[in-house]
Amino acid sequence: MVTVVEPAGFAQALREWRERRRVSQLELALRAGTTQRHVSFIERGRSLPGRGMVVRLAEALDVPLRERNALLRAAGFAPAYRETTLEDPSLDPVRGALEHVLDGHLPYPAVLTDRHAQLVAANRAVDALLAGAAPWLLETPVNLARVLLHPEGMAPRIRNLTEWGWHVIDGLARKAERDGNRVLETLIAELRDYIPGRPGHVPPGHLGFAVPLRVRAGEHELELLTTLAHFATAIEVEVSELTLEAFLPADAATSAYFARARGPVL
């Protein structure tokens, strides 16, 4: 069976990724080790690159692995990156290592989310953080961003909801724009309806939206910092799309609260 390749499909996809990254043809050519003329020919459908060039162009544009496979298919080549689920037996060592990382962050909360901000795994401390959220929000699949900002989720307990909410939304928006993720764009539109409008003026002493999460837990007020980690060197699609978000205490009272808190794994 002969595979028929439509140059225009690959050409358009490559041009869209280049424009999304705000990279000129010349800069892309320099990054990929080719010429601007060759990139121009490819984008106009006058030339089809070889498999190695497709990979180099995608790498130069930092295209996510799932979309790199799509580019390869559009150019008439087989995917280069494995697309399996985390439940696949071949990923048992990876899954075990990730669980070890989550448990190693105890007694503080840590989660793994996928490219759509859905919860993949969490350590047991997350239960103490999400306590009080409506049960339907915690039904699988759990979308962490929705649980954080929904009026029936954590939102009523977040003391700095406007600042924190826009911090979350802006982070998702950057990711959606970077990856061309339509599912995230839909989620962002939903989340914006939950958060008070972005302030039209900058109050005195404003430090930006990258501020600690301040949340009530019973009679306690917790203050948490967050860190994000990505698996940039992964060659398996689903692993490359994971985000590890770890919460750290910003003060002694928050540290003591989680040291005392215990609960089942979410």
Do 131 and 60 reside in the same domain of the chain?
no
Cα distance between the two ends of the chain? 49
Q: What is the mean pLDDT of residues 93-108?
A: 94
The mean per-residue pLDDT over the stretch 40-46 comes to: 94
- The three-point CA angle 108-148-170 to 5° equals 105
CB atoms within 10 A of CB 66: 17
pLDDT of residue 131: 86
Does 1 map to a domain?
Answer: no
pLDDT for residue 1: 33
* DSSP per residue, 230-241: E-TT--BHHHHT
Whether residues 111 and 186 fall in one domain? yes
Residues 116 and 178 in one domain: yes
State the angle between helix axes of 25-32 and 51-60 in degrees (0 to 180), rounded to the nearest 10.
Answer: 120
- Per-residue model confidence as pLDDT tens digits over 181-216: 999 999 999 999 999 877 665 555 555 555 789 999
Selected residue with higher pLDDT from 72 and 233: 72
Whether the Cβ atoms of residue 185 and residue 128 lie closer than 8 Å to each other: no
Structural domain contains residue 2:
no
* E strand or H helix that includes residue 142: none
Q: Read off the pLDDT band of 69 (50, 70, 90).
A: very high
Helical spans, DSSP H, in the chain: 7-20, 25-32, 36-43, 51-60, 65-74, 92-104, 125-130, 144-149, 161-179, 182-192, 237-240, 252-260
Does residue 125 sit in the same domain as residue 49? no
Look up residue 42 and give its amino acid: I
Count of domains observed in the chain: 2
Structural domain span for residue 29: 7-74
Better-scored residue on pLDDT, 180 or 136: 136
Task: Find the CATH number of the domain harbouring 33.
Answer: 1.10.260.40
Mean pLDDT, the chain, rounded, equals 89
Identify whether 82 is part of a domain: no
Let me know whether 193 and 126 are in one domain. Answer: yes
Cα separation, 253 vs 116, in Å, equals 33
Do residue 57 and residue 149 come from a single domain?
no
Of 22, 50, 74, the domain-final residue = 74
Give the pLDDT of residue 9: 87
Strand partners, 16: none
How many Å apart are CA 209 and CA 233, to the nearest integer?
29
- 39 lies in some domain: yes
